[in-house]
Amino acid sequence: MFYGIKFPVDFTALSASLLFIYIFYDYILLKNKIKINRKYVLVSSFLLLFYIWILISLIYTPSKEYSIKKAFYFSTNIIAFIYPLFVRNFNVKSFLKPLVIISLIFAVWYLGVDLKASSYIYNSAKFHVYAASYLIISFLLGINVLVCITSEHNLFGNKRNDFIIAFISVGIMLMIRGRGPLIFVFIVMIIFLLKKLLFKRNIFLTLNINNMIKTGIILIGFTVLLIAVFTRFQDQIISMVSVTVSRLELLFSGIKESNMGKSVDIRLEHIDNSFNLIFNNVGNFFSGYGIGSYGILTTGGDIKDYPHNILLEIMTELGFIGLFLFFLYLFFNFIYFKKHNRYISYFLILYIFLNMLKSSSLIDIRMYFMFFALFLINHKKNILKTDEN
């Protein structure tokens, strides 16, 4: 439900079905033959083995209902990973540009609603989904920043334009109180800059006079626009930035005072619950308690609940065997093979992985798996070789 509207379909199931139909139609009905790269087969095999272990865990999980839903919804992650690899001549840049633009549009819309909405409307149940969407918007804005800054090639014509997009994205992130993505962006950017300083001295733009003039005009225009918006919504903008700053202050000051706020306290409780379950006995350490079991083991209800840390979730529900299979998938996807992707960098993958350690569940990482697939795709040559090649 959103804005009081009840949607008649489950969009997760619908999108997964549409992607499966596309693959089936293009490669089965139309018989477009492909020769699958062996490296991709190896990476995918470990992901499929991980999913098989999820299905096996259905036998011993104490969850009778939610476990089945969770096992099904994880399959959408596999589809999200496979789909870009099955699109012939998939162009990573052509995919990323609309994604960046759309995420900025949603972020501006979010700010617009936030600026105009009264506290009564904002806190009402009708806006619950809206209020909770700040985290995914912050995550996408972080993607914008790292795609524009750390990619080898320019996404929007030149690095000047990319830097402007990144600057706007960071500015919006500061106003929508998403601590995790904001902190992770700065951590990854520090690592990126340190790498540049250590291995490549030239980390600044090389600008000639024409570029300097164009950059100056754009910056002046952008500054005028910012001043106009700030003047119109001064109190609201200061209030939103203050919320983000206060949440960051609460987090860092709480490290000394052992009081980092309700959000962190809940996560610490999940960590404690996870470790108690993981090390309860040797059998569950290796096999886990079964997919979807965390909720019923910690709350007594057969509901969706998770440790907010993907590794703890896997270790709790699927044990060391599940974690080992998942690490094999990650290892062969990102480390074992040398790849040259011009837009999806290791820095972006690091940012995604950090977010997986903070807020994600196994059934909510479709976008992450999509970027894992994009990481495998070279801009010039798809990892799937058609007969035409």
Overall average pLDDT of the 28-46 stretch: 67
| Tokens describing residue 39 | 């490296």
Q: What is the pLDDT of residues 270-295, one digit of tens each?
A: 888 899 999 988 999 999 999 999 99
The number of residues making up the chain comes to 389
For residue 334, tell me if it sits in a domain: yes
On the question of pLDDT at 222 being above 80, the answer is: no
User: Looking at residue 233, what is its pLDDT?
Assistant: 60
With bands split at pLDDT 50, 70 and 90, how would you rate the model's confidence at 259?
Answer: low
User: Looking at residue 263, what is its pLDDT?
Assistant: 65
What distances in angstroms separate CA 255 from CA 170, 244, 251, 262, 354, one per listed residue? 25, 17, 7, 14, 19
For residue 148, tell me if it sits in a domain: yes
Q: CA 46 from chain center: how many Å?
A: 21
For residue 1, tell me if it sits in a domain: no
Query: How many domains does the chain divide into?
Result: 1
Q: What is the pLDDT of residues 90-132, one digit of tens each?
A: 788 888 999 999 999 988 888 777 666 544 444 444 444 455 6
User: Looking at residue 118, what is its pLDDT?
Assistant: 45
For residue 269, tell me if it sits in a domain: yes
pTM for this one? Answer: 0.79
Q: What is the pLDDT of residues 329-358, one digit of tens each?
A: 999 888 876 666 788 889 999 999 999 988
| Tokens describing residue 303 | 């509901």
Q: What is the pLDDT of residues 297-312, one digit of tens each?
A: 998 888 888 998 899 9
d(C-alpha 336, C-alpha 353), whole Å: 17
For residue 5, tell me if it sits in a domain: no
For residue 352, tell me if it sits in a domain: yes
Domain span at residue 15 reads: 11-386
For residue 4, tell me if it sits in a domain: no
For residue 201, tell me if it sits in a domain: yes
Q: Which of 13-22, 129-138, 365-374 has the highest mean pLDDT?
A: 365-374
With bands split at pLDDT 50, 70 and 90, how would you rate the model's confidence at 379?
Answer: very low
